[in-house]
Amino acid sequence: MADVMLRDVRAVFKEDSDPAAVIFGQTAPKEEESDLVGQANYRDGQVYAIDGVDLDIKDGESIAILGPSGCGKSTMLRVIAGLIMLETPNSGTIQYGEENWTELNAKDRRVGIVFQNYALYPHMHSKKNLGFFFKMHKREEEVDERVEIVSKMMGVGFDQLLDRRPKALSGGQQQRVAIARCIVRDPTVFLFDEPLSNLDAKLRTRTRVEIKRLLRRFKITTVYVTHDQTEAQAMGDRIAVMQAGKIQQLGTYREIYDDPVNMFVASFVGAPPMNLIPGKAENGGVRLDGQFVDLRNDALGGVEGQDVHLGIRPESVLLSPHQVEGSMPVQVYWVENHFSEQRKEVTLDFGGTRVICKRPLEEEWDRNTTAYATIPVEESYVFGSDERRIV
Ligand SMILES: Nc1ncnc2c1ncn2[C@@H]1O[C@H](COP(=O)(O)OP(=O)(O)OP(=O)(O)O)[C@@H](O)[C@H]1O
Ligand SMILES: [Mg+2]
């Protein structure tokens, strides 16, 4: 077991070679529009699916890669697995402890991958699926013992799945078999590509807990790809937030939530995510449409008069039915009750920007009335015109 280290990795595709793009009739946006896309990174008629990534995954650690569709999550897994090699036009290096993996083929890396669609061999019952690798490598004598060990590890009821074919298994059961098939090979690194997205909500939570328990027990180094922040939070010791082929931030959920480095990260974590209100930096505060939020922060001196965004989490906005010191009048735009969470989400109109705040369920707020919002200074964020965090 060892750390996995990626250095300055780039994976480049010709824009017209993406099968999905051909099917859906997408074409790459012009270069000057590429920032607006926010997902894939298009340059010189090519897609930089991974665009200069450094990543250290510690031995036994589980990293979740979180990001929107097309940001390069699956490509990253394929690079680690050796299904995409880092040869021209790709570049960068990948190391597994002392072992240089850059030119090592997929087979010799012994990486285990679990995909969304399980990819079990349909005509084989589960035990054969587990043993297939050993059969291929003429090590059939190991199968019985290994399957028995893994079956015990997989927990209650797993042995009952062994003599069934995939057709006779539910989605969750197929996924357990797919995971067992990876574990049985004693992988160096375990890769998951949205393994739960085919399951219904209840089964997803249950399977998630099981996978996490298994990972804890085996301490296998894991990379877990998802676009669901709840899942990323549950599965990853640390989370890498990706956008347009780049890792924007790497940290625990708490770190990413409390200290987002830029507007993308701020608006990707949290449910609902952080509110971002456009304004101008002025006198250590932010001038919003007709209102001034005095943050008494010197850091804003450097961007005096420039366009900025004031960021505030929905749970941080204070709301009162009448004027209090420092509050500003806002229109209540919409009210939504979330009974199971014992709260409501009140959408406010801040001079044209919609701002969501979370309130206790028992409070009464009426649409199209005036309320008074206060933005606590110590819970405010400010992002510059380059979207980077200033305060
Ligand atoms: N074989 C390929 N040829 C050309 N372009 C590709 C190829 N594979 C991926 N891409 C492009 O690279 C970018 C990243 O793709 P990738 O599959 O890694 O995204 P993803 O983050 O896994 O998205 P999703 O959440 O939808 O699975 C996308 O713009 C995609 O269109
Ligand atoms: Mg993907």
**Atom 7, ligand 1: residue with shortest CA distance:** 18
Q: Is residue 140 part of a domain?
A: no
Can you give the CATH number for the domain in which 89 is found?
3.40.50.300
Name 342's Cβ contacts closer than 8 Å, sequence gap at least 6.
360, 361
- Quote the CA–CA distance of 341 and 339 in Å, as a whole number: 5
Last residue within a domain, chosen from 213, 238, 263:
263
Task: Please identify every residue whose CB atom is under 5 Å from ligand 2, which is an ion.
Answer: 74
112-114 and 189-193 beta bridge pairing: parallel
Last residue within a domain, chosen from 210, 228, 263:
263
Residues 225 and 103 in one domain: yes
Q: What is the mean pLDDT of the chain?
A: 89
370-374 and 328-338 beta bridge pairing: antiparallel
312 vs 215, more confident: 312
List the domain range (segments joined by +) for residue 32.
Answer: 4-111+187-263
Provide the angle, in degrees to the nearest 10, between the axes of the packed helices 126-136 and 171-183: 30
CB 328 less than 6 A from any atom of ligand 1: no
CB 94 less than 6 A from any atom of ligand 1: no
CB 40 less than 6 A from any atom of ligand 1: yes
Last residue within a domain, chosen from 263, 287, 313:
263
Mutate to test the pocket of ligand 1, among 14, 24, 34, 74 (most ligand atoms within 8 A of CB): 74
Residues 255 and 290 in one domain: no
Q: Is residue 389 part of a domain?
A: no
pTM over 0.95: no
Can you give the CATH number for the domain in which 336 is found?
2.40.50.140
- Quote the CA–CA distance of 185 and 175 in Å, as a whole number: 16
CB 165 less than 6 A from any atom of ligand 1: no
CA 231–ligand 2 middle distance (angstroms): 15
Answer positive or negative: Cα dihedral of 231, 96, 2, 55: negative
Name 322's Cβ contacts closer than 8 Å, sequence gap at least 6.
372
Is residue 185 very low, low, confident or very high in pLDDT (cuts 50, 70, 90)? Answer: confident
Residues 218 and 302 in one domain: no
Residues 281 and 359 in one domain: yes
pLDDT of amino acid 68:
93
Q: Indicate whether 34 pLDDT > 70.
A: no
> What's the domain count of the chain?
2
Q: Indicate whether 24 pLDDT > 60.
A: no
Name 222's Cβ contacts closer than 8 Å, sequence gap at least 6.
61, 62, 63, 189, 190, 191, 192, 215, 235
pLDDT of amino acid 179:
86
pLDDT of amino acid 367:
96
- Unique residue bearing structure tokens 């690194």: 189
Considering only CA atoms, which of 335, 330, 311 is closest in space to residue 259? 311
Considering only CA atoms, which of 255, 254, 224, 251 is closest in space to residue 239? 251
- Kindly report, residue by residue over 205-256, the tens digit of the pLDDT: 888 888 888 888 778 899 999 999 999 999 999 999 999 999 999 999 999 9
Q: Indicate whether 316 pLDDT > 90.
A: yes
Q: Alpha carbon of 129 to those of 118, 126, 269: distances in Å?
A: 11, 5, 38
Q: Indicate whether 23 pLDDT > 80.
A: no
274 vs 177, more confident: 274
Type of residue at 28: A
pLDDT-wise least confident of 29-33, 37-41, 141-145: 29-33
Q: Alpha carbon of 269 to those of 68, 73, 259, 266: distances in Å?
A: 12, 17, 11, 6
Residues 253 and 341 in one domain: no
